[in-house]
Amino acid sequence: MADEQAQNATAPWSGAVIPMAGAGAASSVRIPVPGTQGLCIQLYAPGNFKNSTSTLFFVEDPGKKFGRQLRLDYGEQKLPNGSKAITYHWNQSKTLPTFGITNHTPVSGAAPATYHAARYFRHGGRFLGVVGMAVDAVSIVQADKPLRRATEVVAGWAGAWAGCKVVGAGGATAGFWAGSEAPLVGNAIGAGLGGLGGCIIGGGVGYFVGSTVAGVVYDWAEDTRFRPLIISSEAEVRAWLRGEGH
């Protein structure tokens, strides 16, 4: 009965955190894009490049400011006629063979909406992640079995990060190929949307699976009692020692 009460007390908390975990993971995790020789989707500028006007990045090395990368930008662009204009466009370095996008390529269609969605989600997703962690911290304090709940929380967030990467990678691959067939989307936008969407779903599922499995394992370990294979009396032990010459 006590176990059921503990589970019932924590279930609403964990249920509320599942979408927060997915959003938090997607806004922070580097999502691998299979088939791109190491490029990953991320929403933060590489190399601590502050004040960047780009919002969606495909980056190989997050520590390099100008490494191999493709980024969706909104800012001043030099036009072929020599004039300048504020446009949505791609900036790239050494990713032309992967995406077929040249540097300073103007974009339209789904790209502008994706640019702003990535911008807002970068902050909103992290905020939801922080709120989810705070909710989990409160749930540990209020749980009938704090250690059990803490085990669920740690395993849940670890599962969220893992699920985000795995499902996000699959979503990026699917989005890449689907976007290639849609003129108003393109392979880069398709990969970005597919990767982030898959990461949100995978993060939520990973949190649920991780926390659930951790709770089951904790209950099993707590309720399990191990017994010796052989229970011998003191007289039997002494007789065995005499037989061995002790």
Interval 224-245: pLDDT, tens: 765 665 555 666 666 766 776 6
Percent of the chain residues past pLDDT 70, beyond the cut: 86
Question: In whole angstroms, what is the distance from residue 135 CA to residue 16 CA?
Answer: 9
Residue identified by tokens 């390529």 is 105
Please report how many Cα atoms fall inside a 13 Å half-sphere around the Cα of residue 138, on the Cβ side.
11
Q: Give the residue-averaged pLDDT of 125-143.
A: 93
Q: Is the per-residue pLDDT at 128 higher than 70?
A: yes
Question: In whole angstroms, what is the distance from residue 171 CA to residue 22 CA?
Answer: 14
What pLDDT does residue 65 have? 85
Rounded to 10 deg, the angle between the 2-28 and 187-223 helix axes is 160
Considering only residues 239 and 144, tell me which one the structure prediction assigns the higher pLDDT. 144
What pLDDT does residue 50 have? 76
The residues with which 87 forms a beta bridge, in sequence order, are: 75
Question: In whole angstroms, what is the distance from residue 156 CA to residue 151 CA?
Answer: 8
Question: In whole angstroms, what is the distance from residue 210 CA to residue 226 CA?
Answer: 26
Considering only residues 82 and 161, tell me which one the structure prediction assigns the higher pLDDT. 161
Considering only residues 15 and 216, tell me which one the structure prediction assigns the higher pLDDT. 216
The model's pTM is 0.82
Q: Considering only CA atoms, which of 53, 25, 41, 177 is closest in space to residue 115?
A: 53
Instruction: Give me 144's structure tokens.
Output: 């009938």
